[in-house]
Each structure stands twice: as C-alpha cells, then as structure tokens.
Chains A and B, each alone.
Chain A
Amino acid sequence: MSLLSVENLNQVYTDAYTHEEMTAVGNVSFDIPEGQFISLIGPSGCGKTTVLNIVAGFIRASGGSVMLAGKPISGPGPDRGVVFQDFALFPWKSVEANIAFGLKMRGVDKAERKRRAREVIELVGLSGFEAKYPHELSGGMRQRVGVARVLATEPTMMLMDEPFASIDAQTRRVLQQEVLRIWEQERPTVLFVTHDVDEAIFMSDRVIVLSSRPSAVQADIEIPIPRPRTWSDVYADPAFVRIRRELMAMLGVDDDEKGS
C-alpha cells in the first residue's frame, strides 16, 4: 500500500492585485510507497512547491485529496518533517536545541532529548558544533542542521523543498551524497522538490515530472541505478545519461552535453 496518495490535486488562487483566478496546480495525482525516495521536478512556476506545501499541510488544496497512511491531511504535523530551502532554523537556539525542538514539542524529557540530538548530530557530521548558533555556520552546515532537526523526530515522511538550492555547487555535491548515505540508514519516505535534473536522478527511486501551468503529471520515471550511489559512479552510468537526456527534452532544456 502506498504511504502517500495524492489524487486529482488542484490549487487555484486569486491574485491579490488583479483579482484574476490563477491555477497553480491543474490536476496532479501520484502515489509514494513506503520507503521510496521521490523527486518532483518541472518547469519553474509549475506548482511543485505548492504540491509540497499542501502535503506538508501549510496550505489547503482547492480540490482533490491527499492521504497519508490512509488518513486525509489537515494541517502541518510532526509526521511530516520539512526541510526548507532557506533552512528556517531558529536563530536564538543552538544547533543542539534546534535539533531537539521537535522532541521538546513532543514532551520528551531533557536527558533523552540530549541523547537523541547527539545521536543525530553525529549522523549528519556536526559533532563539535552543538553549541553554535545557526548564523555562525556556513550554508552547508545549516542545512545539515535542517536535515538533522527533521530526522530527530523520526517522521513518517520527509518533505524537502529545494533543500540544496541556496548552497554552493561543491558543497551541494557533498551534501547530496551525505543525505543519501543517511537516507540509506534510516529509510524514511521522501518527497523531494527540485529544479535540478541531475540531482533528481541522483537522489531518487522515481522522478515525477510536472508539466507547466496548469500542471499535471507528465511523466513518472523509475531510476534503475543501483544504490549506494556516488556522483562519480552515477555520472558514468548509461541509465543516468539516458534518463537525463529524456528529462531534459521533456523540460525543453537544450542539452549542451549531447552524447557525452
């Protein structure tokens, strides 16, 4: 049975200035089985972040249904941990306190929070930075905290909204591998929104392509590349090259590395 099921999702909003009705999401349906890593890609403005926000419970859909483990979603909750593009860390809390926040909300006692936070800090490679404040960290390290903060509460699903988009290229490659390494240990179900085709293929079991506005699912592609994956292996994989070309064509992007 699929863990998340999105059916005929539709999102219409009224522009505040022109009062025109805009359709952000036309008709989107897909399922995610438990433990799968799914990427959502599509041309800019296709509403992929809107879909994630609806699944997160941040905004209410105009139509359609979103069910998590058979239950409809009503508002945000700790069963769906969200990793944000802008990290959204609490500036007044130390790395450790940020990571322990979800546990604190759940009423876990202090000693246990500390133990679990240390465990996750170790896992994401932030040992030695427990007492730092977010502004003292680099972008890459901040997002490690963002991922750790979600992992600490062991959510049913992880929702990641372009988590590496504001991180420099080299660090991004490292973080992608790191997140995959962690994912293989913990195996949470992941909905990953990105505009980066390479990233989508590298990270995912399946890539769902949305068409431009009003969006619908244009393609749903399995990624048969064996795990564990590293960038050097994946770049050389014929499946990667083939799927990449396919996706680029679908998104209307000129592939300047033809046949490479």
Chain B
Amino acid sequence: MTVDTPVRSQQRSRVETAGAWTGLLRVPGIRTWGPFAVVVAIWALIAELELFPSAFFVGPGTVFETTVRLIERGILPSYIGDSLLRLAVGAGFGVVIGVALGFLIGLNKYARKFSWPMLLFFQAIGDIAWLPILIIWFGFSLTSVTLVIVYTVTFPLIISIVAGIDSIPQNLMRAAASLGAKRWRGIVEVVVPAALPGISSGIRTGLGYGWRALIAAEIIIGTSGVGFMMFEARRQGDVSHVFIGMVVLGALWYATDALILAPFEKETVERWGMVEGIGR
C-alpha cells in the first residue's frame, strides 16, 4: 500500500538555509539576551559620553545600583507586588467576563444585534477616559483601578473572540453536524477549540492594554505600585526611579509572555498548526 510522505516541518528547512548570524541566534542565552545587550551597551555609551546632564539621563550602572538599593529596602518588591496583584484581580475578572460575553455575542445573533453597536461605542471611550467618573464614584480606591483594568481587558477580548468565532471555516461546523454533533456538543467540541486563536490573541491584546491602563491609573490615583513610583520620582526629580519603572514594566511584560502566553500558545494553536509561531 502506498503511503504519502508527511509534510516536513518547515522550521528545519529554514534552519538549513541559515547563515552564521542565525546560527548564533540559536544559542538560547544569546537569542534571548543578545538584543538587550546591544540596547544596554548603547544606553551605557550615551550615559558615559554625558550627552545629557545626569539629572536627566542616568546610565545602566546607576539604575542597577538604585534597583539593588530599592530591593534591599523592600520598596520595589512591594510596589511590583501591588501592581501585579491589581493586574491579576482586574485581568481575572476581565477575562471571565470577556470570554463569557464573547461567546454569547459570537454565538447568539440577538445578543450580537443588541450589543455590537454598543461595543463599538464603548470601545471608543478609552480606559483612562473612565477615570474621572470612576474617581467621583469610587474615590481614589482599588475599586476604581480594578474597574479600569476589567474594562480594558474585556473589550478587546470580546471583539477578538467574536472575530475568532466568525472565522471558523463553515465546513468545520458542517462536518461536526453531519457527524452527529448537536448544538451544545458542537460548541464544546468545535467552536471553543476553533476559536482558540481568537481567544489567545484577545487575551494577549487585552492583557497588554490592561497593563498600560494599570500604570496610567496608578499615576493618577495610585498610592503605591510601579506607576505611582515613577510619577513620584518625577516629582522629586529622581530620574533613576523613572528609569527603573520603565525597565520593570518591560521586564514584567516579557516575563508574562515567556512564562504564560507563549507556552500556552505553543501547546495549543501552534501545536495544531492553526497559527504560525508568534514572534519567532
């Protein structure tokens, strides 16, 4: 019996044509830290040349020393902890609400007709545009911060889940129905996994927006947290704290991607060939 050859992994042929540079990038440490090393080197060089006065621009060395001091005094860990907890609470609610509403709107045509104009309307009212009214209602409280994050996470999630459901190939649903899948079985067995690329990109976008909204909220109503730290430092003219805040924001997002989002996508949508490797 003739058996056709399976498709070979595309990655292999990509590697075969690679030159020395790409070969170097395959070393795990270099691949991850190499680009940062270049940026840090340029940063150090600019600081070393004293192109800007040190009150405006500090080098990586100063930032590192200040970071160590802030960690020793417990300030940085506690601020990061505060920010992450707020994000986790807000994003947790946001994801639950967003996934539920996303599937409801994606699957029910009445829910869609009712809510779609509203979604577009509220999408335009950006996260921080809600802060004035939230502060009036809930004061400078954790509730206000959480609500802003829930809001920013929910909307992109709903929209990309609906788009994900809409882009499920018609024949996939037909195949399921002709194999005997009834409405609910079809949703569980086909719609949910087929919408996963939409869900994962929605969570990525939503979390990214939520993270930014958190910093904005902390700047305006914060009493602690990374955003608060940066803005306080600006008031006291301490540039190094501002720099630390920026580095921390980037590093935390990088960690979220590397530890949670990327592994999830690798095990699901990429494993199944539904999307190409994201950013790799």
Contact = CB atoms under 8 A, between A and B. Distances in A.
Find the residue from A76, A133, A138, A178 having the highest chain B CB count within 10 A.
A76
Nearest to B7: A138
Interface string B153-169: 00000000000000001
A92 B172 contact: no
A99 B217 CA distance: 51
Contacts of B274: 91-92, 135
A132 interface: yes
B6 A57 contact: no
Contacts of A77: 178, 180
B168 to A, nearest CB: 11
B180 A106 contact: yes
B272 A137 contact: no
B179 A105 contact: yes
A82 interface: yes
Nearest to B196: A92
Contacts, number: 101
A106 B171 CA distance: 20
A78 B179 contact: yes
Nearest to A133: B272
Nearest to B268: A92
A126 B169 CA distance: 25
Find the residue from B4, B5, B174, B272 having the highest chain A CB count within 10 A.
B4
A9 B174 CA distance: 21
Contacts of B180: 77-78, 102, 105-106, 153
A141 interface: yes
Interface in B177-230: 177-182, 185, 189-190, 193-194, 196
Instruction: Report the interface size class on chain A.
Output: 35 or more
A91 B179 contact: no
Contact of A91 (B3, B4, B5, B273): B273
B185 A105 contact: yes
B272 to A, nearest CB: 4
Instruction: Report the interface size class on chain B.
Output: 20 to 34
A125 interface: yes
Contacts of A137: 6-7
Contacts of B178: 56-58, 76-78, 80-82
A57 B273 CA distance: 30
Given A77-B178, A81-B178, A136 B273 contact: yes
B5 A138 contact: yes
Given A84-B171, A92-B268, A75 B177 contact: yes
A133 B193 CA distance: 14
Nearest to A153: B179
A34 interface: no
A92 B272 contact: yes
Interface string A62-82: 000000000000011110111
B258 interface: no
Given A76-B174, A125-B1, A136 B179 contact: no
Contacts of B174: 56, 58, 76, 82, 84, 88
A86 interface: yes
B6 A82 contact: no
B178 to A, nearest CB: 4
B6 A91 contact: no
Interface in B238-280: 268, 271-274
B175 interface: yes
A174 interface: yes
Contacts of B190: 90
B2 A105 contact: no
A184 B177 CA distance: 27
Contacts of A171: 4
10 contacts: A56-B178, A84-B171, A86-B171, A88-B172, A90-B193, A92-B196, A101-B179, A105-B181, A105-B182, A174-B4
Interface of B: 1-7, 169, 171-172, 174-182, 185, 189-190, 193-194, 196, 268, 271-274
Given A126-B3, A132-B6, A138-B4, 19 more contacts: A56-B178, A57-B177, A57-B178, A58-B177, A76-B174, A82-B178, A90-B175, A91-B274, A92-B196, A92-B272, A101-B179, A101-B181, A105-B189, A125-B1, A125-B2, A139-B4, A153-B179, A171-B4, A174-B2
